[in-house]
Structure 1
């Protein structure tokens, strides 16, 4: 059975890839947001489903993570299938996905505190994801505000730019958290294994 840290690392890498892609791309149109979020959700959903069924990642919380993986994959399919859905569709889709999956992950973390080494990270990820959903729901879809910066730089701040920027920030925060936790539990496992080998050898 594949170790839990590998699934956690895969989730972190996917989230970081989404965050970095958004950060390095100037086009924050609804179509860009739907396509990038859709690809991320499809891949993340697949990782969660496989992690729930074929690895030690979910443990006793398998049902919750399986539901989370299915919901994430479904959101990805919708996003990719309707790339021209507009900012309102993007906000509703991201908001619904984030609230549902954030609650599922947070609940898994709370219920698994006694036996799951990743429970704290699941709780934090769940809270951050629910916060993303709240922002997506409360952000007015028709928000537009002109701005001017240093050296005469000017532009227009829209709800699409804000929402996609928030998604990118969420992805980087969650990605860093998941990568660090994956490395941590991998290191702890190696230390325990080394200590056990020394005891047996002695």
Structure 2
């Protein structure tokens, strides 16, 4: 089997997990809007850390196949750093959390838009644009309150997760086609 087929088969699963985690995070935030600030910080920090670690692992695994794997690596490192920041200062105000989330969303969004141009994948670009818009809205309306942040964060995470899941299944389909093509000796029917 072609090494790039193996990489795609591994990668789609990691992308699927990232999408599912984002949706779970979004549902938790929407279902329990009165959640304590500390709990929100812990949930956000855990999500950012897990998402970051998975992005770093995927970037390292795909460095021989992806022409711009460094975009994914940078995104993962930034997510890990912001997740750690959320854990280190758990007692700070909701405004600090708002700015951490806003910075994370904008930085992640810019990196994803850049990756979309280099990989020619519009789904990553859409996710990146949503991240940037979300971050800008948080900076523009800091006084809107934690409840607004919770609802925005929940909806954003669900949409982001859905986009990642769709992309994961697209990757899986391509992997299956590549695998089938390899079994047939490279001939198309």
Query: Which TM-score band (shorter chain)?
Result: 0.7 to 0.9
Work out which of the residue numbers 91, 96, 100 in structure 2 matches 1:89. Answer: 96
Provide the residue aligned with 1:51 in structure 2. Answer: 58
Higher strand share goes to which structure? 1
CA distance in 1, matches of 2:58, 2:96: 29
Higher helix share goes to which structure? 2
Q: Within the alignment, does 1:136 sit opposite 2:138 as a pair?
A: yes
CA distance in 2, matches of 1:21, 1:45: 20
Q: Within the alignment, does 1:69 sit opposite 2:76 as a pair?
A: yes
CA distance in 2, matches of 1:194, 1:32: 47
The Cα RMSD (Å) is 2.2
Question: Is the CA contact (8 Å cut-off) linking 1:49 and 1:66 kept in structure 2?
Answer: yes
Q: Structure 1 residue 58: deviation in Å?
A: 7.6
Which structure 1 segments of 5+ residues have no match?
Answer: 114-118, 144-158
Could you say which structure has the greater relative contact order, defined with CA pairs below 8 angstroms and 6 or more residues apart? 2
Provide the residue aligned with 1:116 in structure 2. Answer: none
Q: Structure 1 residue 132: deviation in Å?
A: 1.3
Question: Is the CA contact (8 Å cut-off) linking 1:92 and 1:136 kept in structure 2?
Answer: yes
CA distance in 2, matches of 1:169, 1:11: 16
Question: Is the CA contact (8 Å cut-off) linking 2:98 and 2:142 kept in structure 1?
Answer: no
Which structure 2 segments of 5+ residues have no match?
Answer: 1-5
Relative to the length of structure 2, the TM-score reads 0.86
Question: Is the CA contact (8 Å cut-off) linking 1:58 and 1:65 kept in structure 2?
Answer: no
CA distance in 2, matches of 1:56, 1:70: 15
Provide the residue aligned with 1:165 in structure 2. Answer: 151
- Which has the greater radius of gyration? 1
Work out which of the residue numbers 56, 62, 78 in structure 1 matches 2:85. Answer: 78
Relative to the length of structure 1, the TM-score reads 0.81
Provide the residue aligned with 2:3 in structure 1. Answer: none
